[in-house]
């Protein structure tokens, strides 16, 4: 379906042409004076110069051509030359009825669907999942759902950090604690045990202990680096430990992400890319892209137009070790080979931007990706505490994700059981669902690149621009629809009629905007646009609800129309929160 704004624009274009002016002047926007009109056009002012005529005269001539039977009911020329527009209630109702017939509400999918790979989540195996990884998971999941909704072939890849120094640390600490394990016996040639020598609980304790110890003890650090090196060079016993770490951690990560409603299609990681490194490096050397710089192998990526210094991409350290740059380049080699993506979107902390500028430039320059492959960096800001500093626990440590979810869920549970009479097990389930909306909406309602303050009290409030408020609105609509059904009616034969009141019209106009909102949210990869929209839509609904007797309405056709509008509002809200990655409960 065409967007409502485009339909209004087309009608105004015709009026401009009929009045003898070029149609390019008919640019329609949402009104910035909603008290006066719904849409507006400033084209007469733009045309004044070209046609040597007072703008108000042009506006008046255009307005005279509007019949009032199309999408525009009323057009008014206002000095010095604005054209104020009010839509036709019957036309809007017809538009909404069309929207309601389609499960995507008339949104047109991408005409040339793309193969998109989204790199998000990015947790580091064996390190606890903390709030720093929360944003990537939440934003990435929403981007995945939005791009998929628009008809693209989208794959989400968690891109585990599973190849670094943390692995060497764990191996070193394990050897210190249990030196007699067969993994440390170089003479051992048998099969290693299937059972891991640690649990996830052990790992969670081992890593921080080893990491802290290494900071104080140089020889221990050297040992861990050496272990990392040997692991990366295929030492059998270490590979076996690595497998255990992976199995134990990935099972735990899967549980955590499932709790967050975040679903990855691929569970690949840095380790998977390693086998692509030797050939890649050889080619970069052979084709003259890479050169030695103080012993390190680098590719220059600076460009003439740079305003700040962009250092070369580091391919190999002087000791021959691969780096973060190397792994990300090799991952692109792998992705090109296996998936051939048209676009790769990285949802990563914005402090890593320089790294991605280097990697993208190097990948393009050296032909690792095709010329027309789009590489997108979606950098996000920091999640801060109320003190404006990166979010921490009360004790000052890094907040574990599980604890954060638990804190919010407990808070929600208190609220739900305080206010209402809900059965125990339902209250628990509901608290979890609503808590998730508080966390995700609290994050997504901000422009991703900005830092934001994680404010538990505000995010869990049932009022204001919050997830729980949106869910509360959906639950309210569901409850009205349920009562309507309990009164012996069906929901199947509704038909939306032209609005009879200001608040009803305002709600209808909000609902009609869905298509434009989706288009922008998709083009700009901006879930916050969806949040802003559903907040407006929920507000418009609540105003309508307070001013309208829906269940007591005696005119049956009118009541059916209200019910139709409620259903559509509920469905749009549900679709939007699904795109944001959360859901609504039955009651709350
Ligand atoms: N594991 C990394 C970190 O915790 C994030 C990975 C981002 N993705 C990538 N392809 N580099 O910082």
Closest protein CA for atom 12 of ligand 1:
122
Question: What's the pLDDT score for residue 390?
Answer: 82
Spatial distance between the Cα atoms of 339 and 343, rounded to a whole number of angstroms:
11
Question: What are the Cα distances from residue 333, in Å, to 176, 326, 327, 340, 369?
Answer: 38, 11, 10, 10, 7
Res 398 pLDDT > 90: no
Q: Contact, 309 vs 251, CB < 8 A?
A: no
Best residue among 155, 161, 351 to mutate for probing ligand 1's pocket (most ligand atoms within 8 Å of CB) is 161
Report the percent of the chain where pLDDT is more than 90. Answer: 88
What is the distance, to the nearest Å, from the Cα of residue 256 to the centroid of all Cα atoms in its chain? 18
Spatial distance between the Cα atoms of 118 and 370, rounded to a whole number of angstroms:
17
Separation of CA 296 and ligand 1 centre (Å)? 23
Lowest mean pLDDT across 17-31, 114-128, 380-394: 380-394
Question: What's the pLDDT score for residue 221?
Answer: 97
Separation of CA 124 and ligand 1 centre (Å)? 8
Res 397 pLDDT > 70: no
Question: What are the Cα distances from residue 366, in Å, to 174, 294, 300, 324, 371?
Answer: 41, 22, 11, 17, 10
Spatial distance between the Cα atoms of 51 and 298, rounded to a whole number of angstroms:
60
Res 421 pLDDT > 80: no
The CA-CA-CA angle for residues 376, 377, 383, to 5°, reads 145
Question: What's the pLDDT score for residue 404?
Answer: 87
Separation of CA 364 and ligand 1 centre (Å)? 20
Confidence band of 392 (pLDDT split at 50, 70, 90): confident
Q: Contact, 354 vs 328, CB < 8 A?
A: no
Question: What's the pLDDT score for residue 425?
Answer: 84
The ligand 1 atom nearest the CA atom of 349: 12
Q: What SS3 class is residue 520? A: helix
C-beta atoms surrounding 552 within 10 Å: 7
Separation of CA 147 and ligand 1 centre (Å)? 21
As given in the structure block, the two tokens for residue 172 are 């070193």
C-beta atoms surrounding 447 within 10 Å: 14
Q: Scanning the structure block, which residue is given the tokens 């505000």?
A: 458
Closest protein CA for atom 8 of ligand 1:
122
The ligand 1 atom nearest the CA atom of 161: 1
Confidence band of 321 (pLDDT split at 50, 70, 90): confident
Separation of CA 122 and ligand 1 centre (Å)? 5
The number of residues in the chain equals 588
Spatial distance between the Cα atoms of 162 and 271, rounded to a whole number of angstroms:
6
Best residue among 324, 347, 348 to mutate for probing ligand 1's pocket (most ligand atoms within 8 Å of CB) is 348
Spatial distance between the Cα atoms of 456 and 477, rounded to a whole number of angstroms:
26
Strands (E), 272-417: 290-293, 296-299, 313-316, 343-349, 374-380, 383-384
Question: What's the pLDDT score for residue 8?
Answer: 97
Q: Starting at the edge strand that comes first in sequence, how are the strands of the sheet with 290-293 ordered? A: 290-293, 296-299, 313-316
Q: Starting at the edge strand that comes first in sequence, how are the strands of the sheet with 115-119 ordered? A: 153-157, 115-119, 343-349, 374-380
Lowest mean pLDDT across 27-36, 256-265, 295-304, 388-397: 388-397
Spatial distance between the Cα atoms of 413 and 138, rounded to a whole number of angstroms:
22
Closest protein CA for atom 10 of ligand 1:
328
CB under 8 Å to 546, separation ≥6 — which residues? none
> Span 479-502, mean pLDDT?
96
Spatial distance between the Cα atoms of 441 and 459, rounded to a whole number of angstroms:
8
What is the distance, to the nearest Å, from the Cα of residue 424 to the centroid of all Cα atoms in its chain? 33
Q: Contact, 388 vs 452, CB < 8 A?
A: no
Q: Contact, 73 vs 88, CB < 8 A?
A: yes
The DSSP symbol for 291 reads E
Res 316 pLDDT > 90: yes
Separation of CA 432 and ligand 1 centre (Å)? 28
Between 223 and 133, the higher pLDDT residue: 223
Question: What's the pLDDT score for residue 396?
Answer: 66
Q: Contact, 381 vs 451, CB < 8 A?
A: yes
Which candidate, 135, 152, 149, 141, places its Cα nearest to that of 118? 141
The DSSP symbol for 183 reads G
Helix (H) or strand (E) holding 76: strand 72-78
Separation of CA 23 and ligand 1 centre (Å)? 49
Res 303 pLDDT > 70: yes
Separation of CA 333 and ligand 1 centre (Å)? 17
Res 212 pLDDT > 80: yes
Res 37 pLDDT > 90: yes
For residue 292, is it left (φ>0), alpha (ψ between -120 and 50) or beta?
A: beta
Q: What SS3 class is residue 330? A: helix
CB under 8 Å to 189, separation ≥6 — which residues? none
The ligand 1 atom nearest the CA atom of 133: 4
- Please give the mean pLDDT across all residues of the chain: 95
As given in the structure block, the two tokens for residue 455 are 């404010």
CB under 8 Å to 97, separation ≥6 — which residues? 495, 496, 564
Res 301 pLDDT > 90: yes
Question: What's the pLDDT score for residue 420?
Answer: 65
Closest protein CA for atom 5 of ligand 1:
122
Spatial distance between the Cα atoms of 518 and 530, rounded to a whole number of angstroms:
7
Pairing of strands 72-78, 115-119: unpaired
Question: What are the Cα distances from residue 563, in Å, to 89, 275, 402, 468?
Answer: 17, 59, 40, 23
Best residue among 352, 369, 398 to mutate for probing ligand 1's pocket (most ligand atoms within 8 Å of CB) is 352
Separation of CA 116 and ligand 1 centre (Å)? 18
Task: Ligand 1: list residues with CB < 6 Å.
Answer: 119, 122, 124, 159, 161, 328, 346, 348
Question: What's the pLDDT score for residue 325?
Answer: 97
Q: What SS3 class is residue 27? A: coil
Separation of CA 216 and ligand 1 centre (Å)? 26
Q: Exposure pattern of 15-46 as b/e (b: 16+ CB <10 Å)?
A: bbeebebebebbebeebeeeeebbbbbbbbbe
Closest protein CA for atom 11 of ligand 1:
328
Spatial distance between the Cα atoms of 145 and 521, rounded to a whole number of angstroms:
11
Res 130 pLDDT > 80: no
Q: Contact, 142 vs 581, CB < 8 A?
A: yes
Lowest mean pLDDT across 116-130, 189-203, 265-279, 536-550: 116-130
Spatial distance between the Cα atoms of 341 and 493, rounded to a whole number of angstroms:
44
**In degrees rounded to 5, what are phi and psi of residue 370?**
-70, 160
The ligand 1 atom nearest the CA atom of 331: 10
pLDDT in tens, 542-567: 999 999 999 999 999 999 999 999 99
Question: What's the pLDDT score for residue 369?
Answer: 98
> Span 111-134, mean pLDDT?
90
């Amino acid at each position: 379906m065409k967007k409502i704004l485009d339909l209004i624009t087309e009608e105004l274009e015709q009026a401009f042409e009929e009045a003898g002016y070029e149609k390019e002047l008919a640019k329609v926007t949402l009104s910035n004076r909603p008290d006066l009109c719904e849409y507006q056009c400033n084209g007469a002012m733009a045309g004044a110069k070209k046609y040597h005529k007072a703008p108000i005269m042009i506006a008046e001539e255009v307005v005279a051509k509007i019949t009032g039977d199309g999408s525009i009911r009323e057009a008014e020329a206002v000095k010095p030359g604005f054209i104020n527009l009010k839509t036709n209630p019957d036309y809007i109702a017809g538009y909404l009825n069309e929207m309601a017939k389609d499960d995507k509400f008339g949104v047109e999918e991408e005409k040339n669907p793309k193969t998109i790979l989204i790199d998000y989540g990015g947790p580091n195996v064996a390190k606890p999942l903390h709030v720093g990884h929360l944003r990537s998971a939440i934003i990435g999941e929403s981007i995945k759902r939005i791009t998929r909704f628009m008809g693209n072939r989208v794959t989400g890849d968690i891109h585990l950090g599973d190849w670094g120094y943390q692995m060497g640390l764990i191996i070193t600490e394990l050897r210190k604690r249990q030196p007699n394990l067969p993994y440390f016996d170089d003479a051992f040639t048998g099969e290693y045990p299937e059972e891991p020598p640690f649990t996830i609980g052990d790992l969670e304790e081992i890593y921080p202990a080893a990491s802290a110890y290494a900071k104080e003890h140089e020889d221990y650090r050297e040992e861990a680096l050496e272990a990392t090196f040997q692991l990366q060079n295929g030492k059998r016993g270490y590979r076996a430990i690595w497998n255990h770490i992976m199995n134990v951690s990935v099972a735990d990560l899967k549980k955590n992400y499932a709790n967050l409603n975040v679903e990855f299609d691929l569970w690949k990681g840095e380790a998977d890319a390693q086998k692509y490194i030797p050939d890649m490096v050889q080619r970069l050397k052979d084709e003259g892209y890479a050169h030695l710089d103080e012993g390190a192998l680098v590719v220059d990526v600076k460009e003439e137009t740079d305003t700040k210094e962009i250092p070369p991409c580091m391919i190999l350290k002087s000791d021959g070790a691969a780096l973060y740059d190397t792994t990300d380049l090799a991952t692109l080699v792998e992705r090109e080979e296996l998936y051939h993506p048209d676009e790769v979107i990285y949802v990563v902390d914005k402090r890593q931007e320089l790294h991605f500028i280097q990697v993208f430039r190097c990948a393009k320059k050296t032909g690792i990706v095709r010329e027309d492959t789009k590489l997108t960096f979606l950098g996000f800001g920091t999640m801060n505490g109320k003190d404006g500093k990166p979010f921490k626990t009360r004790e000052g440590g890094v907040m574990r994700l599980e604890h954060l979810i638990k804190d919010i869920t407990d808070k929600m549970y208190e609220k739900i059981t305080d206010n209402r009479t809900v059965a125990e097990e339902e209250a628990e389930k509901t608290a979890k669902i609503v808590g998730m909306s508080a966390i995700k909406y609290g994050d997504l309602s901000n422009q991703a690149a900005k830092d934001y303050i994680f404010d538990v009290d505000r995010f869990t409030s049932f009022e204001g621009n919050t997830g729980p408020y949106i869910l509360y609105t959906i639950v309210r609509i569901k409850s009205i629809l349920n009562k309507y059904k309990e009164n012996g009616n069906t929901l199947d034969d509704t038909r939306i009629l032209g609005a009879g009141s200001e608040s009803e019209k305002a709600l209808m106009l909000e609902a009609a905007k869905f298509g434009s909102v989706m288009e922008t949210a998709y083009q700009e990869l901006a879930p916050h646009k969806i949040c802003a929209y559903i907040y407006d839509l929920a507000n418009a609904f609540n105003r309508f609800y307070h001013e309208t007797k829906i269940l007591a309405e005696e005119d049956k056709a009118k009541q059916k129309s209200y019910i139709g509008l409620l259903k559509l509002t509920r469905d749009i809200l549900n679709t939007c929160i699904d795109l944001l990655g959360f859901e609504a409960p039955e009651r709350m």
